[in-house]
A and B are shown apart, each in its own frame.
Chain A
Amino acid sequence: MVSDRRYLNNFFYVLPAILMFAIFTIYPFIKTFQLSVYEWDGISPTMKFVGLKNYLEIFSDRLFWNSMLNAGIITLLALTFQNMLALLLAVIIDRGVKFDKFFRTVYFIPPILSGVVVGLVWKWIYDGNYGILNTILTHIGLEKYTTSWLSNPRTALVSVAVVHMWKGFGWGFVILLAGLQTIPRELYEAAAIDGADSFKQFWYVTAPLMLPIFFVVSVLTILGTMQIFDLIYSMTRGGPAGATEVPISYIYRYMANNELGYATAMAVIFGLVLFTLSILQIKISRKLRKV
């Protein structure tokens, strides 16, 4: 009996967290599934049950799959260029350079800025008439490449992706560097004694030990980039003509248009895709750890 009372008292420590989490995370999560089988404008008192109609519509909604594709393209670019750059910089800094503290500080500035700030500054840089990018291109004789970067459907997506990578590489850099610094120096020395040059040291010492961390960074890059929104909203709002539409901006568009059933059905599909990716991640990283 005494211990029951104590349990009850101890329960008050966790109660605020559990209550908040239940109301603001669990409930909306379950509600997503429920709303997705209705047609509802979010205002009228009656909701119309439509079964799987929303889901069936999604499968033939080209704009939705186009938004997935756009996010997928940005993700692929980030996975290759952004993460390679992050790794390259981390390896250089880890080998010991002067002013390393300065470089580390600077590289992590873009990640701490807000998406809206970054988006609006770059929108000004990209501006077709007065943007500094076009001015620079004109000055160095590349005038024929000047364009309205964000309103030209052919350049908009890549322009946005560049900004996303600019904002993101410093984050990967910090994590990879933290990982590199856990590798004991003796391993490199031993490899050097055995005659391994710096490339071989990287390939046979660094790479295998870094594989699990590089994998984690890659997965977080995928999950983070697929859910990109602030940058898109502040630079293009998904335009021109859907050229930079991504899943979250597309779902938001339907929500703002009071089509909550369709918006939540898309959220479910999108969530399932991300869920599958993160389960794969957990499975693979367990394997990597065992090796």
Chain B
Amino acid sequence: MPAKTEYVPFMSYIILILIAIICLFPLVWMLSSSLKSQDEIFTNMSLLPGKLHLRNYVEAWTRGKFSTYFVNSLLYTVLGVFGILVITSLCAYALARLELPFKNLIFFILIIPLIVPLPGTFVPLYVLLKRLGLLDTRTGLILCYINGGLAFGIFLLKSFFEEIPKELEEAAVIDGATKWQIYFRIMLPLVKPALATLAIFNTVAIWNEFLLALIILQDPTKMPIQRGLMVFQGTHITEYAQLMAGLSIATLPVIMIYLLMQKYIIKGITAGALKG
């Protein structure tokens, strides 16, 4: 070990720092532009705004309707994640620990989206939602988000449920616990780390989702923030300062969650990729 850490070539640090700057610069530039006035943004090319111009945020939030978009995104994210957690934990628990015919087949079918990509199904999905009267509704979008989180959730939780020793369950049965008590009091608490990973991972995924929101929603009052950004950009084409404020509003929650819950996000990513 010491032989390796002692000598770290100077070049390595140069590369690491250079890439870190390239990673951060666009974000810093977004924040900096969001704090400049509309005139200053075209003349002052320095990273530091002349004086902090918070007006862009107020304008974006009120006139740019980002308050609506933000609240919508919050609603979709909370309900979507909640739905995913409830449905996938029930299903994964049954597939891992209960007697059920065709268990393996059901599991295999449910995780197909993890194995093969199904691109372009958004076209018939649009037709289906229209038939069901769910087009341009909040319900339609949320249902699609929940569906999108099923495969990964079931895959991840099933492996966690399988690791729980049988003795715990048997002891609970002897103590006279009902099936639901076993599920809620013993099983669910034991897979908490996996539930947390799933919650954080899907929070970021739903908050960032764009394509489904694009095809399902037309009514601006129902749009989530990613969709709202495109609407704002389309109608205020030259108002870059306010657009940057809107982008910052859309990004801040994700960055905060990431910095606080990094561990869980990384877990989700590596579990997803090293699956097959």
Contact = CB atoms under 8 A, between A and B. Distances in A.
Interface of A: 3, 6-7, 9-11, 13-14, 16-18, 20-21, 23-25, 27-29, 31-32, 35, 42, 85, 88-89, 92-93, 95-97, 102-103, 105-118, 120-122, 124-125, 127, 130, 132, 135, 166, 170-171, 174-175, 178-179, 185, 188-189, 192, 198, 213, 216-217, 220, 223, 227, 229-230, 233-234, 247-248, 251-252, 255, 260, 263-264, 266-268, 270-271, 274-275, 278-279, 282, 285
Interface stretch (B74-82, B116-124, B162-170): B116-124
Q: How large is the interface on B (under 10, 10 to 19, 20 to 34, 35 or more residues)?
A: 35 or more
Given A107-B20, A112-B204, A117-B247, A6 B12 contact: no
Given A20-B147, A89-B16, A216-B273, A282 B115 contact: yes
Given A24-B143, A96-B5, A263-B123, A124 B33 contact: yes
A25 B19 CA distance: 39
A274 B207 contact: no
Contacts of B41: 130
A45 to B, nearest CB: 12
A130 B240 CA distance: 10
B208 to A, nearest CB: 4
A67 to B, nearest CB: 12
A188 B211 CA distance: 46
Nearest to A22: B109
A234 B15 CA distance: 30
Contacts of A18: 91, 106, 110
A174 B269 contact: yes
Interface of B: 1, 3-5, 8, 12-13, 15-16, 19-20, 22-24, 26-27, 29-30, 33, 41-42, 45, 86-88, 90-91, 93-95, 98-101, 106, 109-110, 112-113, 115-128, 130, 143-144, 146-147, 150, 154, 179, 204, 207-211, 214-215, 226, 229-230, 233, 240, 243-244, 247, 250-251, 254-255, 258-259, 262, 265-266, 269-270, 273-274, 276
Contact of A35 (B13, B42, B94, B123): B123
A212 B5 CA distance: 27
Contact of A29 (B26, B30, B118, B254): B118
B16 A278 contact: no
Contacts of A175: 269-270, 273-274
Contact of A278 (B15, B115, B255): B115
A130 B30 CA distance: 14
Contacts of B86: 16
Give 4 nearest A-B pairs by CB, closest first.
A267-B120, A13-B94, A114-B208, A31-B124
B90 A274 contact: no
10 contacts: A14-B90, A16-B86, A17-B154, A107-B19, A117-B229, A121-B244, A170-B23, A227-B117, A227-B119, A278-B115
A120 B109 CA distance: 37
Q: Secondary structure at chain B's binding surface: helix, strand, loop or mixed?
A: helix
A175 B275 CA distance: 12
A14 B91 contact: yes
Contact of B121 (A10, A130, A267): A267
A230 B226 CA distance: 10
B24 A106 contact: yes
B143 A109 contact: no
Most buried by B among A112, A171, A179, A213: A112
A144 B273 CA distance: 43
A23 B146 CA distance: 12
Given A16-B87, A16-B91, A114 B121 contact: no
B240 A109 contact: no
B110 to A, nearest CB: 6
Contacts of B226: 114, 116-117, 230
Which of B87, B123, B125, B269 is the most central at the interface, judged by chain A CB atoms within 10 Å of its CB? Answer: B123
Given A29-B121, A89-B16, A20 B276 contact: no
B120 A32 contact: yes
B117 A275 contact: yes
Given A14-B91, A16-B91, A27-B128, A230 B211 contact: yes
B215 to A, nearest CB: 7
Contacts of A263: 120, 123
Contacts of A112: 204, 208, 254-255, 258, 265
Contact of A234 (B3, B16, B87, B230): B230
A96 B210 contact: no
Given A25-B121, A251-B119, 7 more contacts: A18-B91, A24-B125, A97-B13, A97-B16, A116-B226, A251-B123, A252-B122
A9 to B, nearest CB: 8
Nearest to B146: A20
Contacts of B230: 116, 233-234
B222 to A, nearest CB: 17
Nearest to B22: A166
A216 B276 contact: yes
Given A28-B125, A267-B120, A275-B117, A282 B207 contact: no
Nearest to B42: A130
Nearest to A271: B119
